[in-house]
Structure 1
Amino acid sequence: MALQVVTAVTGAAWESELVGALDRADHGVTVVRRCVDVGDLLAVATTGTAQAVLLSAELRRLDGDAVARLTAAGVAVVGLVEPGDDQAAQRLHQLGVGRVLPADAEAARIAAALREAVGGSSGDARSGAGHDVGDPRAALPVLGLPEDPADRPDGRGRVVAVWGPTGAPGRTTVAVGLADEAARLGVPTLLVDADVYGGVVAQVLGLLDESPGIAAAARQATAGTLDVPRLARLAWAVGPRLRVLTGLARADRWPELRPQAVATVLDQARRLTALTVVDCGFCVEEDEELSFDTSAPRRNGVTTTVLEQADTVLCVSGADPVALQRTIRALGQLRDGLPDVDPGVLVNQVRRGPVPGDPRAEIGGALARFTGTRVVGFLPADRRATDAALAAGRTLAEVAERSPLRVALRALAAELTGAPLPARRRRRP
């Protein structure tokens, strides 16, 4: 059976010739409709009459959200650009189009790319596999990285997602502390506030919460114009090796963050720094799919996207019975919704009192018994140090260098990044 394809190629003199060449019987492709704009294309995609779409970079109102909706509708996307137009190829790649071909490619080659896109044989489009046109982003400079980073053999940084249940288990405290300590160990780090329910990274570090931050980065990603230099300009430089991409100024602005755009931001962040620490929201529910019979905005889609993209997921839990119960329920919900995500539990605010006996032994045993999830570490409670840091808008290392919480976060950063801890200085008697 012939592959049913729609085209959305505007302003190109070669469109008619291409459609005629693709319709030849020996290519196994049938062009069922020629769309004039994105609205027409999305309307056809929802009817289920097309298996793939062939579009050009010049298509009006084409953005990352449109490509994501096509993919969600089960329509494979292949892009066409004018020969030698690397900027258009880069834009299509950033919008999420995995296969981009020059417009003067032979019809047989284009038909083969359409069949491969429908079959999904190229692997992950984000990795660049299966691209017929070289990705121009590979030529961009990687800012702030050491010349020979041993922890980045493939030239791409790691993403660590700091997530946790509802309540106040200390997600932001852990994310800020982890990013700061990694930067102090010599690892170029980017801290991203992706909490759609009210991120406060800017307030914690004493930065302007009205700065563009992740909202501006997401807008550029949707338009296909985000690259490494632009991301670096949007992020605050709060230290020699630490940048911060602030979050939404108000929680009701969450529709500005689309999952596909955030995925592109993370992809560029991997090129910018060796380590990206993301402060996530708590909720991973997907009730939008139950409430709407069409594509709907997903508030929690940003969190699930970050968790899926991350190399390491840390589930921050409190150390009291209520917080532990919330953690157990959240881990069960995460396992049901995202079975491929394997988080490690980081128990925060550990102290004697709420849990009888040895807190570490009791909490570790309870989590292993009820969730089967590994505990990657325990962070001691140090309210005096965290209050001092919050009051000054500074990090723990700046206001309480010898805080037990700061020492534990430093050890965790060294373990995650592989950076050696500096030798302890001997104290004079």
Structure 2
Amino acid sequence: MSLGILVAVGGVEFEPSLLRVAEAADIYVVRRCVDVADLLATAASGQAQVAVVSAQLRGLDAEVVAQLADSAVAVVGVTADTLSADEALLRRLGISSVEASDDVSAMAEAIREAVREPVRSQPEFGENGPGEAATSAEEGTPPGRIIAVWGPTGAPGRSVVSLSLSAELARLGAPTLLIDADVYGGSIAPMLGILDESSGLLAAARAANLGALDAAGLAVHARQIAANLQVLTGLPRADRWTEVKAVLFRTLLAVARRAHAFTVIDCGFNLELDEEISYDTAAPRRNGATLEALGSADVVVVVGAADPVGLTRLIRGVNEVMAAVPGMVPHVLVNRARSGLGWSAQEVTQMVVRATGLATVRLLPDDPAACDRALVHGQTLSECAPDAKLTRSFSALAADIAGVPALHARRRSRLGRT
């Protein structure tokens, strides 16, 4: 089978020698692309199977590599020297195969091998994060766990659960990162009284797109809220969701997993994929970050309100999440449970268990006074209401997820701001 290749190397000096790869009987050049736009347009036409790129191609980033993968075009990197900084950059952008320009036979074999392997849009990472420059926790430690907190529409309390769960995990002494990834309107920063015009999430996504995100860089973009607790603030405006692509969020989560024992994600409510119906070409996916979070999570927490409307949405939402992430058994939380609804805790639990088929459902007591106090003072529940029943419920949930006795969790000292 003949293999069509696209050459987009930015006019480097070694381009003429690189084109000798087309002397192979099974390889031919479809087009020498002048820029990224030309490369992506030709790739989308389906004329080529492999794109050969260099670090000198202006505008080449992780998003471009992902778009090529979406077009079923494999990517092979080329450099003047395989031990150069260009090679490290190409690998951080997600290009796993990088060859020297003067080794034509090795380049030809890399092109053939790229076609044989499944096309991937996920960047490759070294032991300590993306590329050699990344740093992480102590070598030999297991990777951290990702916890996605999701809930249906109607403000069931996703952000309160995300923040409180993160705070309790941090109280256990585990380095914890909270990511506000709600692309319809982040709320973690105002809940904590953070006046942050510069979004940590957007800054980290930009760094990931350039192949420059590592554990140290992630720490720079995050805000230190308390001992063992950092927060990556969300979107300042909902219309900036286009800057948080799924492939960039995947890179961010891979770095966070290596840098923190727990990464808690406050997800958006929407799981729809309507963009795929509305566009003939690769579509921008507003819900891509949410779906990526759920797919990457080790633990999924689904939260819904205890009232009749909230329970209906919760039951449907649990089924949606289990369909989106096959094999995942979520932790189900019924929030704002109160006697005024006329149902006992046992009745609510049995109702949700029957409707979802799950064995365990947790009820979170309604405590508007504690939540209001935390919101007004920009604090977590652990700080302003450490002995509240709601806080104890979050402590028990954190202990369950972390695998430690709940009594041990409650003995931990109160969080203090740094």
Please give the TM-score of this superposition, normalised by the length of structure 2: 0.89
Which amino acid counterpart does residue 271 of structure 1 have in structure 2? Answer: R
Contact 1:91 1:224 in 2 (8 A): yes
Contact 1:307 1:341 in 2 (8 A): no
Q: 1:206-355 to 2 correspondence within 5 Å?
A: 206-339=193-326, 342-354=329-341
Q: 1: CA distance between counterparts of 2:353 and 2:121?
A: 34
Alignment correspondent of 1:20: 20
**The 10-residue stretch of structure 1 (271-280 or 362-371) with the greater mean CA deviation from structure 2:** 362-371
**The 10-residue stretch of structure 1 (276-285 or 339-348) with the greater mean CA deviation from structure 2:** 339-348
Deviations 1:164-220 (A, max 9, x none): 100121100110011111111100011110101111100111111313311111122
Q: 1: CA distance between counterparts of 2:139 and 2:21?
A: 49
Q: 1: CA distance between counterparts of 2:240 and 2:199?
A: 12
User: 1:369 pairs with 333, 345, 354, which one?
Assistant: 354
- Structure 2: which 5+ runs fail to align? 412-418
Structure 2 CA distance for partners of 1:423 and 1:166, relative to 1, 3 Å: closer
Structure 2 CA distance for partners of 1:419 and 1:83, relative to 1, 3 Å: farther
Work out the percentage of aligned pairs sharing the same amino acid: 46
Q: 1: CA distance between counterparts of 2:120 and 2:243?
A: 29
Q: 2: CA distance between counterparts of 1:233 and 1:64?
A: 21
Shift in Å, 1:337? 4.5
Q: 2: CA distance between counterparts of 1:226 and 1:291?
A: 33
Aligned residue for 2:177, secondary structure, equals: strand
Q: 1:162-181 to 2 correspondence within 5 Å?
A: 162-181=149-168
User: 1:44 pairs with 39, 42, 45, which one?
Assistant: 42
Structure 2 CA distance for partners of 1:83 and 1:241, relative to 1, 3 Å: same
Alignment correspondent of 1:422: 408
User: 2:382 pairs with 383, 397, 413, which one?
Assistant: 397
Aligned residue for 2:271, secondary structure, equals: coil
RMSD: 2.7
Q: 2: CA distance between counterparts of 1:121 and 1:47?
A: 19
**The 10-residue stretch of structure 1 (105-114 or 301-310) with the greater mean CA deviation from structure 2:** 105-114
Alignment correspondent of 1:2: 2
Contact 1:3 1:30 in 2 (8 A): yes
Which amino acid counterpart does residue 272 of structure 2 have in structure 1? Answer: E
Contact 1:90 1:136 in 2 (8 A): no
Contact 1:179 1:190 in 2 (8 A): yes
Contact 2:21 2:108 in 1 (8 A): no
Structure 2 CA distance for partners of 1:135 and 1:393, relative to 1, 3 Å: closer
Which amino acid counterpart does residue 63 of structure 1 have in structure 2? Answer: D
Aligned residue for 1:137, secondary structure, equals: coil
Q: 2: CA distance between counterparts of 1:374 and 1:108?
A: 59
Which amino acid counterpart does residue 37 of structure 1 have in structure 2? Answer: D
Deviations 1:216-258 (A, max 9, x none): 1112222222222221111111112111110111212222222
Alignment correspondent of 1:200: 187
Which amino acid counterpart does residue 307 of structure 1 have in structure 2? Answer: L
Which amino acid counterpart does residue 101 of structure 1 have in structure 2? Answer: V
Deviations 1:100-147 (A, max 9, x none): 323257444434433443343598954549x9xx987345332xx5x5
Q: 2: CA distance between counterparts of 1:3 and 1:13?
A: 24
Q: 2: CA distance between counterparts of 1:273 and 1:102?
A: 34
Deviations 1:386-412 (A, max 9, x none): 111111110111111111111111121
Alignment correspondent of 2:415: none
Contact 1:80 1:101 in 2 (8 A): yes
Alignment correspondent of 1:137: 131
Structure 2 CA distance for partners of 1:115 and 1:397, relative to 1, 3 Å: same
Which amino acid counterpart does residue 167 of structure 2 have in structure 1? Answer: D
Deviations 1:75-96 (A, max 9, x none): 1222223425554334333333
Q: 2: CA distance between counterparts of 1:311 and 1:325?
A: 26
Q: 1: CA distance between counterparts of 2:61 and 2:121?
A: 19
- Structure 1: which 5+ runs fail to align? none
Q: Alignment length, in residue pairs?
A: 410
Aligned residue for 2:166, secondary structure, equals: helix
Shift in Å, 1:371? 2.6
Structure 2 CA distance for partners of 1:136 and 1:322, relative to 1, 3 Å: closer
Structure 2 CA distance for partners of 1:46 and 1:141, relative to 1, 3 Å: closer
